[in-house]
């Protein structure tokens, strides 16, 4: 009972907010003689309101359905599980329970959900719906509440029932909109339902170690205190280097875990070695699916798919960007999938203010960063993305030189170093994180104020993910992309994303390039031939180098002299002793 009280408490909305009023209007109009006409008028109004701010966490206020709730309450009075009575008098709207297609349509309109497929399940309007429609585990619900997840986000509203009804799903929803919980919640419920099956049942694949670790931690939080018969806990594991060694050496049984989270390479390694059996896996989830199906990973992903031999295998794909090429693959691999798109497919998260800065040339980029600092736009925490390890290191040294509180993460840093830096950044000790695309996807840093693309990302997808490190979980964020003459071509897809997301782009930035201009940019191989990162002129660098050489030579000379003195002293002492 208590858990439901807490859940219901979360849904407080002032009665007079525009969105709430419109939604009430929509509902009331159903009883009207001209209900159809009124309803469509209101939906147009509602569209305007929602497009203005596609805020996936706060602007989702649903129909006032007091009558229906009361009816339901009477029906279910024998089951004192759901608290439906509070909150109508104190300025709040009851949590919606979606019972038919019309209600689903209205709910979907509030978040621009486009759901297609055969027999599309109804979304859940609140976590209460999980109780009325699915026999949801109370411990799991408690864990949700303990972690302050009181209302589902749109992707959760849609994806959870689809998965619980054992359907394959291809889901595309904005960065930071809660996709992780959208696949973890139903997965855990299904593992609980299949408690009698021993062995690995759920597998989550992520392209990077950082993201795999983050999903693992979320999964541990949600599965806390869930035990099966004989006090066996629900076992979740991150396939780390040490765990894969233990599995290989049979120190740990390969049927110990219910869920494993892994990167593709690490998983394939233990599967090829026959240290892990995937034949009982029932739920296979690809997070950042478009990355896992691009040329970097596709072979390993294919191997994973062919190792999961259970004919009832259910597959899920999640990402903020799913290009049509990946959708085609998905359709061919999946069994009658439901396709979920939240918001505009080609747009970035609408909580992010996007800006382009033309810097002329490479030197201009450093100057731009300095200007942002001086003008107070460089508000920590800040993440700066660069296209290569060399460039990330160079910028790091440059910013260190300016005594800024920064560190750098790239593939050459060890896992321990990477984890430590991430912790320092999360705790606020570190203000600015410089990185390559290793951190572009999935990593959830709460409260990042600004993302700077020091180098223009190579695709619209890369751009959407990079800037998605800010503006998460309903917060506002800012993204600035620096570009030079060389980037005039590369910046076009970014301009498209900006326009799709409703951001302004100055006309002069979006001019069409002539064939000749395009050719000359291509010849310049924009990405390969960037100048080094430094504001120090070449002459000064040479001077600095000579000065360092002189200092080192003088140090060596002094050490030599010191050594010579010691030897002659020693010799003298020896000769004195023999006399």
Ligand X SMILES: Nc1ncnc2c1ncn2[C@@H]1O[C@H](COP(=O)(O)OP(=O)(O)OP(=O)(O)O)[C@@H](O)[C@H]1O
Residues found near ligand X in the complex (CB under 6 A): 149, 151-153, 156, 173, 175-181, 320, 442, 444, 446, 468, 472-473
Distance CA(363)–CA(487), nearest Å, equals: 14
Query: For residues 276 and 260, what is the distance between their CA atoms, to the nearest angstrom?
Result: 10
* Residue 121: its H or E element: none
Q: Give min distance, CB of 522 to ligand X, in A.
A: 32
* Comparison of 395 and 462: residue with beta carbon closer to ligand X: 462
Query: Between residues 175 and 300, which has the closer beta carbon with respect to ligand X?
Result: 175
Q: Do residues 527 and 490 touch, judged by C-beta distance below 8 A?
A: yes
Q: Nearer Cβ to ligand X, position 148 or 250?
A: 148
Strand order in the sheet with 338-342: 113-116, 338-342, 169-172, 314-319, 283-287, 202-205, 259-262, 236-238
Least distance to ligand X, CB of residue 42, Å: 27
Distance in Å, CB of 300 to ligand X, minimum: 20
Cβ atoms < 10 Å from Cβ of 529: 9
Q: Considering the complex, state which of residue 26 and residue 326 has its C-beta at the smaller distance from ligand X.
A: 326
Task: Give the nearest distance from C-beta 316 to ligand X in angstroms.
Answer: 13
To the nearest whole angstrom, how small is the minimum distance from the Cβ of residue 10 to ligand X? Answer: 9
Smallest distance, Å, CB 50 to ligand X? 19
CB of 347 to ligand X, least distance (A): 13
Could you tell me how far CA 125 lies from the centroid of its own chain?
Answer: 23
Compute, in degrees rounded to 10, the torsion defined by CA atoms 547, 552, 558, 562: 170
Which C-beta is closer to ligand X: that of 473 or that of 521?
A: 473
Compute the least distance from the CB of residue 388 to ligand X, in Å: 22
C-beta of 289 vs 526, nearer to ligand X:
289
Separation of alpha carbons 456 and 437, rounded Å: 12
Q: Which two tokens stand for residue 387?
A: 């296209």
- Shorter beta-carbon distance to ligand X: residue 65 or 472: 472
Rank residues 446 and 556 by Cβ distance to ligand X and give the closer one. 446
Cis omega before residue 381 (within 30°)? yes
At its nearest, how many Å lie between ligand X and the CB of residue 145? 11
As measured in angstroms, the least distance from the Cβ of 528 to ligand X is 29
Looking up tokens 């005039």 gives 488
The per-residue DSSP string of 64-108 comes to --HHHHHHHHHHTTTSTT---STTTTTT--PPP---SHHHHHHHH
Nearer to ligand X, 320 or 341 (CB): 320
User: In angstroms, what is the minimal distance from the CB of 536 to ligand X?
Assistant: 36
Distance CA 318, CA 341 (A): 10
Positive or negative, the Cα torsion across 110, 116, 122, 126? negative
Q: What is the largest CA-CA distance in the chain?
A: 127
Tokens of 166: 């054992």
Place of tokens 């585990």: 137
Is the Cβ of residue 87 or residue 177 nearer to ligand X in the bound state?
177
CB of 181 vs ligand X, minimal distance in Å: 4
CA 518 to CA 512: how far, in whole Å?
Answer: 10
Strand order in the sheet with 352-360: 352-360, 477-484, 450-453, 382-385, 432-435, 406-409
Q: Tell me the C-alpha distance between 561 and 567, whole Å.
A: 10
**Please, are residues 64 and 27 in contact by the beta-carbon 8 Å criterion?**
yes
Nearer to ligand X, 175 or 263 (CB): 175
Kindly tell me which of 391 and 465 has the beta carbon lying closer to ligand X: 465
- In a 13 Å sphere around the CA of 571, the CA atoms on its Cβ side amount to 6
């Amino acid at each position: 009972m208590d858990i439901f009280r807490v859940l219901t408490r979360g849904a407080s909305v002032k009665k007079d907010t525009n969105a709430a009023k419109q939604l009430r209007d929509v509902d009331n109009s159903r009883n009207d003689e001209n209900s159809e006409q009124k309803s469509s008028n209101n939906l147009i109004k509602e569209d305007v309101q929602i497009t203005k701010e596609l805020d996936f966490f706060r602007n989702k206020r649903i129909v006032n359905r007091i009558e229906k709730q009361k009816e339901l309450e009477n029906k279910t009075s024998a089951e004192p599980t759901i608290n439906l009575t509070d909150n109508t008098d104190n300025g709040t709207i009851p949590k919606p329970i979606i019972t038919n297609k019309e209600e689903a349509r209205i709910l979907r309109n509030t978040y621009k959900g486009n759901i297609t497929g055969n027999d599309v399940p109804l979304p859940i309007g609140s976590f209460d719906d999980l109780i009325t429609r699915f026999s949801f585990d109370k411990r799991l619900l408690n864990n949700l509440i303990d972690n302050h997840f009181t209302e589902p986000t749109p992707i959760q509203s849609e994806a959870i029932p689809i998965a619980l009804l054992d359907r394959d799903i291809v889901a595309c929803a904005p960065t930071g909109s809660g996709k992780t919980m959208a696949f973890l919640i139903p997965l855990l419920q299904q593992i609980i339902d299949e408690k009698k099956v021993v062995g690995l049942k759920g597998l989550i694949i992520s392209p990077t170690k950082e993201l795999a670790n983050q999903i693992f931690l979320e999964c541990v939080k949600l599965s806390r205190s869930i035990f099966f018969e004989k006090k066996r806990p629900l076992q979740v594991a991150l396939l780390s280097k040490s765990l894969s060694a233990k599995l290989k050496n049979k120190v740990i049984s390969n049927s110990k875990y219910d869920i494993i989270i892994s990167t593709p390479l690490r998983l394939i390694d233990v599967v090829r070695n026959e240290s892990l059996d995937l034949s009982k896996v029932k739920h296979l989830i690809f997070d950042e699916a478009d990355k896992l199906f691009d040329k970097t990973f596709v072979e390993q992903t294919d191997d994973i798919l062919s190792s999961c031999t259970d004919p009832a295998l259910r597959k899920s794909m999640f990402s903020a960007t799913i290009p049509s090429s990946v959708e085609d693959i998905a359709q061919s691999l999946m069994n009658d999938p439901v396709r979920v798109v939240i918001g505009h497919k080609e747009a970035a998260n609408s909580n992010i203010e996007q800006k382009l800065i033309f810097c002329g040339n490479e030197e201009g980029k450093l100057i731009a960063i300095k200007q942002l600092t001086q003008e107070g736009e460089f508000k920590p925490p800040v993440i700066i993305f660069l296209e290569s390890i060399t460039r990330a290191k160079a910028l790091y040294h440059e910013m260190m030189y300016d005594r800024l509180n920064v560190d750098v993460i790239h593939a050459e840093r060890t896992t321990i170093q990477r984890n430590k830096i991430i912790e320092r950044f999360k705790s606020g000790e570190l203000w600015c994180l410089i990185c390559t695309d290793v951190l572009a996807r999935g990593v959830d840093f709460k409260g990042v104020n600004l993302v700077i693309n020091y180098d223009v990302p190579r695709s619209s997808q890369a751009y959407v993910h990079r800037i998605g490190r800010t503006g998460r979980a309903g917060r506002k964020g800012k993204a600035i992309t620096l570009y030079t003459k060389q980037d005039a071509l590369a910046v076009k897809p970014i301009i498209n994303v900006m326009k799709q997301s409703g951001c302004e782009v100055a006309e002069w930035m979006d001019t069409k390039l002539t064939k000749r201009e395009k050719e000359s940019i291509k010849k310049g191989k924009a990405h390969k031939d960037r100048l080094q990162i430094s504001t120090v002129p070449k002459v000064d660098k040479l001077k600095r180098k000579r000065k360092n050489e002189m200092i080192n030579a003088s140090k060596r000379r002094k050490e030599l002299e010191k050594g010579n003195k010691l030897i002659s002293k020693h010799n003298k002492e020896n000769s004195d002793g023999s006399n």
